[in-house]
Chain A
Amino acid sequence: MGSIFSSYNINIFVVAGLYVILALGLNLTTGFAGQVSLGHAAFYAIGAYTAAILSTRFGFSLWLTLPISAVVTLVAGALLGLPSLRVKEDFLAVVTMGLGLIIQSLALNLEITGGPKGIGNIKPLAVFGHPVGAFGFLVFELIVIVVLTFVLGRLVNSRVGRALLAVREDETVAETLGINATRYKVLAFAIGAMYAGIAGSLFAHYFTYVSPDSFGFMESATILCMVVLGGLGSIKGSIIGAIILSIAPELMRGLADYRILIYGLLLVVMMRYRPQGLFGTNATTWNVTAWRRLKDRRARGDRN
């Protein structure tokens, strides 16, 4: 394997990069806006299939499918988010999990998506007609990641970002401050979906093949684990969480059967000893009230 940029390693880096984009998007939805989603892979799938269909039916290249996938998933995220976000917390987690299963099932049963066989022969990335190969793709992906990270950083530090934080911390208070909570929740959901769509189009053009197996519940759960492991509401955390959880199984290749077992154990132990994640602030996502009550009592000096 010698070089760090052997084709085997590049493959791992590209996949890690895809997870970084996915985790960044989910962090906006779950970390910043506080809406737990267990169906992020649905939008990953929509992006990937959009790119795959456009590429194989109309000969579009990644330069066209990437923005189109982004727009399609943004709209899909808004359309699916609007009804889903009517329900809260635990209901939302299960409904998004259901959305993920429904989208995967559609990919499996529709004709246009190629059923269980999926879609092959997607055009690889080319610059001015020259195929760039795996390393070139990695460079392009890094550029996309830098841009998306920058955009997310600007977004969360803007007026919109502060509104999202307010909604996360207390929806009722946010509403009384004149923040349209539903609008911001849907916006966060849709932009998170768009990131997944971009990752999906990259996936399609890198592997040149998509099938329903790549977008199951475990995929959504893995992305959520990355976000929580890195720390909810931390951009740096999402990037590092995604890299750790996508490379760790590769480092454990030698353990064969025990790989996933140790991976699961890692999640349990991480949550036990560092529940706020690696770079987490005290984001009180999801269990806001119970947690705050506890904190309030502690602040008042009560023992619990």
Chain B
Amino acid sequence: MEGGRVFFQQLFNGITIGSAYVLIAIGLTMIYGVLELLHFAHGVIYMAGAFSALVAISVFKADIVVAVLVSMVCSGIIGWFVELFAYRPLRNAPKITALISGIGMALVLENVYRILFGAQTKAFPSIGVPQQTISIAKNVSTTNYQLLIMIVTVILVVALQIFLKNTKMGLAMRATAQDLQASSMMGINVDRVISVTFIIGSALAGIAGTFVGLYFNAVYPSMGSMPGMKAFSVVLLGGLGSIPGTIIGGLFLGIVESFADGYLGNFVVGRDAFAFVLLIAVLLIRPSGLFGKRIRKV
């Protein structure tokens, strides 16, 4: 059954890419949750994560586990820096200024990497294990890289849920997402909560960048711009500010994209814009996303 094989291949491709979308978009959702801010520098942080892992492996001869940790730490720090420098001073200014500040920051960081590493695409250094096909059942197969990405995503998502539900900081984060001002009156150090949110969200984006770089064997300074934009559509698909919604939105987008790619072939709307066609179609039916809370009218 050739059809069945192709079907499962596309499904696993979709889930893999979807996992990366989930990891990027969770950060955006969390940041939107606490600050109600569209964070336009998130894609750059994803790119920074990929480059950090690349440097860790090719220069410092680290193995993939260490490289992933390095990319988490580096992108976490960069995300924190973006928050401190581009967003914190604008906390009380109109939202649109923070949006522009974020775009400016994205331009700065992307060009720093372009100057440091050059604009051309770099191959991801070998991690010792080549990509291999793993057969699960008759006609159902995946690859070791795909499995790695899917498993790590599940672990991270579960860890994040445990963090949010069972720690004091997680509680503070959920409170801040509900009402920033009330939380600060209840003695929550809102500035710290926001910084931690940025660090966690950025670390997740950094891992996503590393995985996508590894999976497609390509790392380049502008690699974050499309995923960064698509992550917004994922966040909206799931309903702004809802983490479970984001997870389903990301997987949904990854799978739909993969099947559209596999079966529709050269569609009039390219693969990258397809996410937004989907988003607009969903928003026409449900203006607050698939799982969104009804938005209060202002």
The number of residues on chain A lying at the interface, defined by a beta carbon within 8 Å of a beta carbon of chain B, is 58
With a 10 A CB-CB cut-off, give which of B95, B270, B275, B288 has the most chain A CB atoms. Answer: B95
Flag if A267 contacts B103 (CB, 8 Å): yes
Known pairs A90-B36, A105-B272, A257-B111; A228 contacts B89 (CB<8 A): no
The number of residues on chain B lying at the interface, defined by a beta carbon within 8 Å of a beta carbon of chain A, is 54
Q: A18 — which chain B residues lie within 8 A by C-beta? A: none
Flag if A105 contacts B95 (CB, 8 Å): no
Known pairs A105-B272, A258-B115, A286-B95; A87 contacts B283 (CB<8 A): yes
As a 0/1 sequence over residues 95 to 118 of chain B, the CB contacts with chain A under 8 angstroms (1 = contact) are 111111101111110111011000
Cβ-based interface call for B32 (8 A)? yes
Q: A64 — which chain B residues lie within 8 A by C-beta? A: none
Flag if A267 contacts B101 (CB, 8 Å): yes
Closest to A84 in B: B280
Flag if B36 contacts A271 (CB, 8 Å): no
Q: Which of B151-201 contact A (CB under 8 A)?
A: none
Flag if B229 contacts A97 (CB, 8 Å): yes
Among the 9-residue stretches B71-79, B124-132, B232-240, B243-251, the one with 4 or more Cβ atoms under 8 Å from chain A is B232-240
As a 0/1 sequence over residues 201 to 236 of chain A, the CB contacts with chain B under 8 angstroms (1 = contact) are 000000000000000010001001100110010000
Cβ-based interface call for A266 (8 A)? yes
- How many angstroms from the CA of A101 to the CA of B236 in the assembled complex? 16
Flag if B111 contacts A261 (CB, 8 Å): yes
Cβ-based interface call for A285 (8 A)? yes
With beta carbons under 8 angstroms apart, the residue of A217, A224, A275 that contacts B90 is A275
Cβ-based interface call for A83 (8 A)? yes
- How many angstroms from the CA of A98 to the CA of B267 in the assembled complex? 17
Q: Which of A66-97 contact B (CB under 8 A)?
A: 83-84, 86-91, 93-95, 97
Tell me the minimal C-beta distance from A184 to chain B in angstroms: 17
- How many angstroms from the CA of A265 to the CA of B112 in the assembled complex? 11
- How many angstroms from the CA of A24 to the CA of B99 in the assembled complex? 20
As a 0/1 sequence over residues 150 to 188 of chain A, the CB contacts with chain B under 8 angstroms (1 = contact) are 000000000000000000001110000000000000000
Q: A104 — which chain B residues lie within 8 A by C-beta? A: 273
Cβ-based interface call for A289 (8 A)? yes
Q: A138 — which chain B residues lie within 8 A by C-beta? A: none
Interface of B is mostly: helix
Interface of A is mostly: helix
Flag if A267 contacts B240 (CB, 8 Å): no
With beta carbons under 8 angstroms apart, the residue of A83, A86, A264, A288 that contacts B298 is A288
As a 0/1 sequence over residues 262 to 298 of chain B, the CB contacts with chain A under 8 angstroms (1 = contact) are 0000111110110111011001100110000001011
Cβ-based interface call for B3 (8 A)? no
- How many angstroms from the CA of A13 to the CA of B75 in the assembled complex? 40
Flag if B104 contacts A271 (CB, 8 Å): yes
With beta carbons under 8 angstroms apart, the residue of B107, B267, B276 that contacts A264 is B107
Flag if B104 contacts A264 (CB, 8 Å): yes
- How many angstroms from the CA of A265 to the CA of B280 in the assembled complex? 33
- How many angstroms from the CA of A217 to the CA of B228 in the assembled complex? 12
Flag if B297 contacts A272 (CB, 8 Å): no
Tell me the minimal C-beta distance from A260 to chain B in angstroms: 5
**21 residue pairs bridging A and B, Cβ less than 8 Å apart:** A36-B99, A86-B283, A91-B236, A91-B240, A94-B232, A95-B236, A95-B280, A98-B280, A105-B269, A106-B268, A172-B298, A229-B100, A258-B115, A260-B107, A261-B112, A267-B103, A267-B107, A268-B104, A271-B90, A272-B101, A275-B94
Give the top 4 A-B pairs by smallest Cβ distance, nearest first. A98-B276, A267-B104, A264-B107, A105-B273
Given contacts A170-B298, A266-B104, A272-B89, 7 further A-B contacts (CB under 8 A): A36-B99, A87-B283, A101-B273, A224-B100, A258-B111, A264-B103, A264-B111
